[in-house]
Amino acid sequence: MRLDKFLSTTLGITRKEAGKLLKNKLIEVNGEVVKNGAQKVSDDCDVQFDGRSLCFDGPRYFMLNKPSGFVCSHVDDFNPTVFILLDVVSPEKLHVAGRLDGDTTGLVLLTDDGQWSHRITSPRHVCEKIYYVETADPIAPETVEQFAQGVQLRGEKELTRPAKLEILDEKAALITISEGKYHQVKRMFAAVGNKVEALHREQIGSVELDEELAPGEYRALTPEEVASFTK
């Protein structure tokens, strides 16, 4: 992470104010005065302001507008990972709370709080996710009832949980699911003889993707958004 952004985050000040601290030689990194806000700092750096070491307090929570072509793992031999999009200290300590496929776009939540993410991903907790989907063929009206009843996925013993399907256009819909089986939405449409051409996650629980985030951009969750998964 850039030093000026680190100062802005830990001290709760603007980048401009952080620049003034640097200009006035009030910031030390590993015992040396630093004036360049573009200098990179990592988790093992000792950053001090006025003789006081600075660090992040508590766990971190982010939302990311995931672009197509990025995977939600830390290491992949063929594709870039979402973690390279983050300008944060120690991104390797973060994990995704509910992964998306490489070609699926939209809302991704990232955190270093394992208990918090467990409430989102565990089958024991009912956490609804809303996706916008485009299909290869027209969506048959009876698909709404089929999804509401649950469908049989190949390789699964039990039907999917009831899902809500709202048809928006001939080949577009919103689907709300409350579980996270592997490639679930794609497999559900395949089970009724259709194919997903595009998939975009718009919402997890009550947290909606921030419309101001362009693909690849992220922001910290608000305290209210974080708390919504603990109720």
Does the structural domain 61-225 have CATH classification 1.10.510.10? Answer: no
Per-residue pLDDT of the chain (231 residues; tens, 9 = 90+): 888 888 887 776 788 888 899 999 989 899 889 999 898 887 778 898 877 888 766 688 999 999 999 999 998 889 999 999 998 877 888 999 999 999 999 999 999 899 999 999 988 888 999 999 999 999 999 999 999 999 999 989 899 999 999 999 999 999 999 998 889 999 999 999 999 999 999 999 999 999 999 999 999 999 899 999 987
* CATH, range 3-54: 3.10.290.10
Beta-carbon neighbour count of residue 199 at 10 Å? 22
List the one residue out of 66, 59, 163 whose CA is nearest residue 109.
Answer: 66
Q: How far is CA 195 from CA 99, 138, 188, 198, 221, in A?
A: 20, 10, 9, 9, 33
101 is catalytic: yes
How much is the pLDDT for 88? 80
Distance in angstroms (rounded) separating the CA atoms of residues 142 and 55? 55
Residue type, position 158, single letter: E
> Where do we find the tokens 């039990």?
158
Domain ranges for the chain, please list them.
3-54, 61-225
4, 101, 103, 210: the catalytic one is 101
How much is the pLDDT for 7? 85
How much is the pLDDT for 45? 84
**Phi, psi at residue 143, to the nearest 5°?**
-65, -30
How much is the pLDDT for 152? 94
Residues 6 or more apart whose CB falls under 8 angstroms from that of 227 comprise none
